[in-house]
Structure 1
Amino acid sequence: MRNIDYFDRQERLHPDRVLLIANGQSLTYGEVHALTHRTAGALLDAGLAHQEAVAVMSPNHPGVLVAMLSLWRAGATWIPVNTRNALSDNVVYLNYVRATVLFYHSHYADDARHVQQSVPTIRLMVCIDQPEGDAPSLDQFMRPAGSPPVADWGDPGGNGDELTAIIATGGTTGPAKGVRVLNRSWGTMLETIGNGMALKPNAYTDYPVFLATAPLTHAAGPFTMAGITMGATIVVLPQFDADAVMDAVVEHRVTHTFLPPTAVYTMLAHPRVREIDYSSLQFFLLAGSACAPEKLRQMVEIFGPCMCQSYGQTEFHLVATWLPPEVVAAAAAGDHPERLASCGRQTYSVRVELMDDDGNLLGVDEVGEIVGRGGIVGGGYFEMPEVSAETWAHGWHHTGDVGRRDADGYYYIVDRKKDMIVTGGFNVFCTEVEAAVTELPGILECAAIGIPDDKWGEAVTALVVAGPGAPDAAAIIAHCKDRIGSVKAPKHVFFKDALPRTAVGKFDKKTMRAEFWEGQDRGVA
C-alpha cells in the first residue's frame, strides 16, 4: 500500500487519538488528516505533477510530518534532505533528483535561498514554521479550512511500483546515490516493523507511544511512519538530548523508541540514567551501527528487557534481520550470550544469505558477503542502471557487508567488505577489534583502522574516545591480546576527543586514515 493508505486506515479507526506531540502542541489523527488534504490540495493547485520530487529540509518539527503525509497524499515523491551534509552536496543531490518543491524550516532559511538559486527545477518554496521572505508559511500555503478533500489517485494494488521516496545513500566517496524506495518495498518494511514490534498487553496504554528523537529526515522518518501504521502517538523531540529522552519516557509512558548505539552510550554515562522508570518501554530499537555486546548487556540491566536490534540498509530497507527483546534479554542473562553480538535472524519478508566473490551461497559459519532478496529490497538507484545491475549481481542484492550465520540462523556482521586491515598477511576485521575495546569500562567509542607499518604493512590501530575510569593504552592492548589474540590486538591506541562521522552518523574511516596515510605511496580507501 501507499503511505497515505496506512495513515488513512488508522485515521478512520481513531480520529480522536493524539497522533503527534511536539513543540508544545498536539494534533489528533483527524486534525492531521484535515491538514494533509488542505496542503495536498495547495500543492496540486500550484501545478504539482504526479511523482514529482518534493524535498523537506528541517529539524524535527510538527510541520515535517504534515508535509510528508501531504506530499504523499498529492502523489509526490519524498526527498529527505540531510542537513548534516555540506550544503554543496545537498545542492548536487537536489539537482540530481530534480526537486520541484522545497519545504524548509526558517532555521535553514539561508540554505534554502541558496538551494532556490542553485537548483533551477525548484519552483515552489514553503517555510514550515513561519512566513520567510517570499515563501509562505505552511499555514498560509495550505487551502482554507473547510475546503473539499483532494481526489484519491490510488489503484487497487496500492501503486506498488511507484515511488515513495528517493533517499540518498550515505557513502564517503563520490556523490550520493539516490535509492528508489517503492510503495511496495516501503509498505513491506512498515508491515515487518509493525509485526515485529506489536504492542504487548500492559498497564499503561492500549496503543503504542513512539518517541522520535533522531532526525525525521533520516532513520526516524521510517520509524515514525511505522508507528503511524500501528496507530501510535508519536512524541517528537527536536534533537537527541539524554535528559529530554529520559523525561519523555516517564511523562508520556513511551512504549517504543529508536536510537543509534552511540546515542545510547551517552545515556549509559549519564548520572541520572539509573534513576528513571523505564517500565513502559517494550521496544528500544538499536540500529544504524553495531552495538558492543558488553554495552548491550548494560543496556538490558538499566532499561530492562526491551532492547532489540535490526539490520538493513537504505537499499535493503532497515529490517532485513531482527533480534527481538526476549532474545537479547536471554543472552544478557547468560543464555547464548554470543547473541549479544548478533543482528538477529532474517525477517519473514526477505531471504538473507551469504555469498562468496564468485556468486556461490555459503553455509553455516562460513564468512561471506551478506546478500538478500525479497519484499524490502528497493527499486535500485535513481537513473543509475549500471550501478543497480552491479548491486544486483547473481540475482541478489549485495550489501557490501561481510558476515556469518550460525546453526540457529543468527547473523553476525563481521565488517564492511572494504573495511578490512591486512596486517602481516592476516585479515583483521575492524568490528572484532572495536568490540573488544568497547567492552572495557569507560570506553565510549572505538574505531579500528590500519596505519602504515614497515614490518606489518598495516598495523592495527584503535582510535578511542574515553570517559571516566577508562584504562590506559597499555591496558587496552593487553586486554585485546587476551580477548582476540596478538595478531588482532591493536599495536597502537590513540585517544581522541571525538571521532569523525559521515553525514548519516557512521564512522568516517576515510578521514581517520588520511591522518596516517598522507604522503604514503598507497592509501586505504
Structure 2
Amino acid sequence: MRSIDYFDRGHDLDPSRACLIDAASGERLSFAEVKLLTERIATAMYANGFENQQPVALYGPNSAAIMVALLAMWRANGKWIPVNTRNAIDANAGYLNYVRCGWMFYHSSMEADVAELKARVPGLRHFVCLDRRNGADPSLEEFIAPFPQGDLPDFSDPFGRMDEIVGIFPTGGTTGPSKGVNVTNLGWGTMLETLSDAVGGRTSDPVSLVVAPATHAAGPVALGTMILGATQVILPGFDAEKVLAAIEEYRVTHMYLPPTALYGLLGSPDLGRRDTSSLAIFILVGSAVSPEKLRQAVEVFGPCMCQAYGQVESPMITTWLPPEVVAAAAAGDHPGRLASCGRPTRSVQVGIMDDEGHLLPPGERGEIVVRGVLVSKEYFEMPEATAEARAFGWHHTGDVAFRDADGYLYIVDRKKDMVVTGGFNVFTAEVEAAVTELAQVRECAVIGVPHDKWGESVHAIVVADGIGEAEIIAHARERLGGVKAPKSVAFVDEIPRTPAGKMDKKALRAQHWGDAARMVN
C-alpha cells in the first residue's frame, strides 16, 4: 500500500481520536481533521501545477504542520525529499539539485535558509510557508483557502502501487555527498507493517512521542504507530527535561530516540521526579547503544526498552531486539544480548559475509548483508553505486558484525571505523562499549590515530566527569586486553556530530591525520 493508505487505516479506527498534539503551540487535530487537511493541501498542489510523483521537500523543525504536510505530500502521491535543517546550506542545495526537487513546504523560522536555497536551486519553483505568508510565498492557510474540500482521483490500484517511489532518502554522507535512495511503496510498506506488528498490541490507548527529527527515523515511527491509531505528541527538538515532562503529562506509551538522547535522559536531574510508567515501547535506533547504559535504562524505565537496526537502504527494522529479550538480559538471562541489535525480522534474509562473498558461520565476523522486500530499489541515478552495493547478490550494509548460535547479531563496527594496530583488527564499537561501562563516562568515540610503530593507535575521545586517563585505560585493559584498550584519552565537552546526529568520526580523524590521502595505516 501507499504511505497515506496506512494513515487512512489508522484514521478509520476512530476518526474522532486525537491524531496530532503540538506540545509547543498547544494545537490539537483529530484524525478526521488531519485527513481533511491533507485532502485540501493535495488538491491545492494539483491546482498549482503539481505532477504525479514529483519530489517535495519539507524544511523545518518538528511541528504538527510539518506532519500534516508530510501526509499531504503522500496524499498527492509525491516523493518525499527529507531536508535536514542542521545540514550546511551547500549540502542541502546540492541534494535538492541532485534529486531535481520542485516543491518545498517550510517553516518561517527557516526563512534565511530558504532564501539561500531559492538562489541556489533553480528547479525549486513552488514554496508554501507553513505558519505565515512570507513575501510571495503563501501561508498554508492561504494556499488551501480556495479548496474547502479535497477533490482528488484515487491514485492507488489493486496492488497499492508497489513500484512507485515514496521518497528519495539521503544516505548519511559522512564520506562524501549523500546518495539518494529510491524507496518504493513495497519496501516502505513492508517496513511500516513490520514495525507496527513489533510495537503494537501493548496498550489500548497508544500515544507516541515525536521528538527526534521527523526527517529521520522519527517520521516512519510516527506513521508506523498511526497505523495503530496512536496519538502523536510533537516536540520541536530534544530537551531531556521537556521529554520527561511530556511523557508524564500525555501518558506517552511509545517513543523513539537515538542512544545519545537516551544518555541525556539518564543524566537528567528530573528523571526521578517524573512518572514514566506509561512507557510500553522505547525504541533505540541509529547507532549502537552502550550495554551498560541499556541495562540502566531498563532499571529506570522498566521492561519497555528495545532496539532496531537498519539503514536507509534497508530501513529501520532489519533486525529487532524486543523489550522482553532486553528486560531478561538486564535481569541476568543471557546478559550479553544487551550488546545485540536483535535477530532478523520476517521480511529479510540477513547474512554475515567475508570480502570474497562467502557467507560465514556463527561466531565469524564479517559484513552484514541483506536480502528481501525491505531492501530499497536503487540509488537515484547512480547505477554503478547500486551495483557495488549489491555485489554477490546481496545488499551490503558496510556494518561489521557476527551472529551467535541463537541468531542474534552483534555489530562491532563500520568497516571504515576499524583500527588496525600492530596487525590486529580492533573494532571501535567494542572499545566504546567497554569505556562507557564507567559511570563517570557519558559518551565515548574511539578512532585510530597514526603511530610510528604500530601503524595506528587506539585513541578514545570521551565526555566524562571525575575520572582520569589512567583509570579509563586500566578499565578497558582489564575488560578487553592490552591490544584493544585505548593508548590515549582526550577529554572534551562534547563529541562533534554529523547533521544526522551521529558521531562525526571523520572530523575526529581529521584532527590527527590532517590532509593525508587516507586515514588508515
TM range (shorter): over 0.9
**Structure 1 position 13, deviation (Å):** 2.7
Q: 1:29 aligns with which of 31, 54, 68?
A: 31
State the AA in 1 paired with 2:174. Answer: T
Matched, 1:445 2:447: no
Partner of 1:119: 121
1:171-223: CA deviation from partner (whole Å, max 9, x where unpaired): 2222110011111101000000000001324xxxx231100101111211111
8 Å contact 1:199–1:208 — kept in the other structure? Answer: no
**In the TM superposition, what whole-angstrom CA distance separates every residue of 1:79-106 from its partner, at most 9, and x where no partner exists?**
1101111001100000001111111110
- Cα distance in 1 for partners of 2:195, 2:497 equals 27
Contact 1:39–1:142 (CA under 8 A) maintained in structure 2: yes
CA shift for structure 1 position 494: 0.7
C-alpha separation between the residues in 2 aligned to 1:133 and 1:309?
45
SS in 2 for 1:134: coil
Contact 2:42 2:150 in 1 (8 A): no
Could you say which residue in structure 2 is the equivalent of 1:7?
Answer: 7
Note if contact 1:354-1:367 (Cα within 8 Å) is conserved in structure 2: yes
The one-letter amino acid paired with 2:278 is S
- 1:332 to partner: Cα distance: 0.5
Greater shift in the superposed pair: 351-360 or 268-277: 268-277
Counterpart secondary structure, 2:355:
coil
Alpha-carbon distance between aligned partners in 2 of 1:62 and 1:71, rounded to the nearest angstrom:
14
Matched, 1:512 2:497: no
The alpha-carbon deviation at position 117 of structure 1 amounts to 1.8
Deviations 1:368-422 (A, max 9, x none): 1000111211111111111011101111110000000000010000100121111
CA deviation after TM superposition for structure 1 residue 12, in Å = 2.5
Correspondence 1:156 to 2:195: no
Per-residue deviation, 1:47? 1.1
Displacement after TM superposition at 1:493 (Å): 0.6
1:459 and 2:457 matched: yes
Which residue of 2 is the match for residue 390 of structure 1? 388
Partner amino acid, structure 1, of 2:289: C
Corresponding residue of 1:17:
17
SS of residue in 2 equivalent to 1:504: coil
Query: What's the counterpart of residue 219 of structure 1?
Result: 217
Shift of 1:445: 0.6
1:71-130, Cα deviation, whole Å (9 max, x unpaired): 111111111101111001100000001111111110111111111121111111100111
Measure, in 1, the Cα distance between the counterparts of 2:13 and 2:411.
41
Partner of 1:102: 104
Separation (CA, whole Å) in 1 of partners of 2:150 and 2:277? 44
Structure 1 distance, partners of 2:515, 2:64, is 49
Q: Report the residue type matching 1:188 in the other structure.
A: T
State the shift of 1:143 in Å: 4.4
- For the aligned residue pairs, the C-alpha RMSD in angstroms reads 1.2
Distance 1:2 1:519 in 2: 46
Q: 2:431 pairs with 389, 409, 433, which one? A: 433
Runs of 4+ deviating beyond 3 Å: 143-146, 519-522
Which residue of structure 2 aligns with residue 371 of structure 1? 369
- Structure 2: how far apart are the matches of 1:524 and 1:108? 39
Distance 2:34 2:346 in 1: 32
Alignment-mate amino acid for residue 253 of structure 2: T
Residue in structure 2 matching 1:411, options 400, 409, 412: 409
Structure 2 CA distance for aligned equivalents of residues 373 and 382 of structure 1 = 19
Q: Secondary structure at the match of 2:233?
A: strand
Greater mean deviation of Cα atoms: 407-416 or 9-18: 9-18
With the length of structure 1 as denominator, give the TM-score of the two structures: 0.97
Listed as ranges, the gaps of 5+ residues in structure 1 are: none
**1:326 maps to 2:324:** yes
Matching of residue 496 in structure 1 with residue 492 in structure 2:
yes
Q: Deviations over 1:118-159 (max 9, x none)?
A: 111111110011111110011110144633432211111000
What's 2:73 paired with?
71
- Alignment correspondent of 1:251: 249
| Aligned residues of 1:77 and 1:164 also touching (Cα < 8 A) | yes
Deviations 1:484-511 (A, max 9, x none): 0001001001101111111101111111
State the distance in 1 between where 2:90 and 2:301 align: 41
**1:452 Cα deviation after fit:** 1.3
TM superposition shift of 1:519:
6.3
Do the aligned residues in 2 keep the contact of 1:41 with 1:143 (CA within 8 Å)?
Answer: no
Contact 1:38 1:144 in 2 (8 A): no
For 2:443, give the aligned amino acid.
E
Q: Does 1:317 align with 2:319?
A: no
Q: Equivalences for 1:266-277 in 2 at 5 Å?
A: 266-277=264-275
Corresponding residue SS for 1:20:
strand
Contact 2:43 2:147 (C-alpha < 8 Å) held by counterparts: no
- Report if aligned partners of 2:21, 2:28 keep a CA contact under 8 Å in 1: yes
Q: 1:519 to 1:16 in 2, by over 3 A?
A: closer
- Cα distance change of structure 1 residues 453 and 521 upon mapping to structure 2, 3 Å threshold: farther
CA distance in 2, matches of 1:250, 1:405: 38
Sort the Cα spacing of 1:485 and 1:62 in 2 relative to 1 into closer, same or farther, 3 A.
same
What residue is the counterpart of 1:479 in the other structure?
A: 475
Q: Choose the corresponding residue for 2:352, options 333, 351, 354.
A: 354
Inter-partner Cα distance in structure 1 for 2:508 and 2:471: 23
Conserved 8 A contact 1:190-1:226 = yes
The answer (yes or no) to whether the contact 1:39–1:143 under 8 Å persists in 2 is no
> In 1, Cα distance between the equivalents of 2:214 and 2:80?
12
SS where residue 390 of structure 1 aligns? Answer: helix
Query: C-alpha separation between the residues in 2 aligned to 1:354 and 1:362?
Result: 5
Q: Displacement of 1:7 after TM fit?
A: 1.2
Is 1:193 matched up with 2:192? no
TM-score (norm 2): 0.98
The amino acid across from 2:480 in the alignment is I
Query: Deviations 1:437-480 (Å, cap 9, x if unpaired)?
Result: 0010110110111111122211111001113xx42110000011
SS of the aligned residue for 2:77 comes to coil
Q: 1:520 to 1:372 in 2, by over 3 A?
A: closer
Deviation at 1:520, TM superposition (A): 5.7
Check if 1:421 corresponds to 2:412: no
Who is 1:174 aligned against?
A: 176
In structure 2, what is the Cα distance between the partners aligned to 1:523 and 1:4? 45
Preserved CA contact (<8 Å) 1:199 1:282 = no
Give yes or no for contact 2:100–2:123 (8 Å, CA) kept in 1.
Answer: yes
**Could you tell me how far apart the structure 2 residues matched to 1:455 and 1:352 are?**
38
Letter of the structure 2 residue corresponding to residue 116 of structure 1: K
Matched-pair contact (CA < 8 Å) for 2:44–2:147: no
Residue aligned with 1:50, SS: coil
**Distance in structure 1 (CA, Å) of the matches to 2:169 and 2:413:** 23
Q: Distance in 2 between matches of 1:426 and 1:358?
A: 20
Residue 51 of structure 1 is matched in structure 2 by 53
User: 2: CA distance between counterparts of 1:331 and 1:39?
Assistant: 48
- Answer yes or no: is the 8 Å Cα contact 1:319–1:347 preserved in 2: yes
Q: Give matches, 1:328-343, under 5 Å.
A: 328-343=326-341
Residue 245 of structure 1: how far off its partner (Å): 0.7
Return the offset for 1:48. 0.7
8 A Cα contact 2:18 2:231, kept in partner: yes
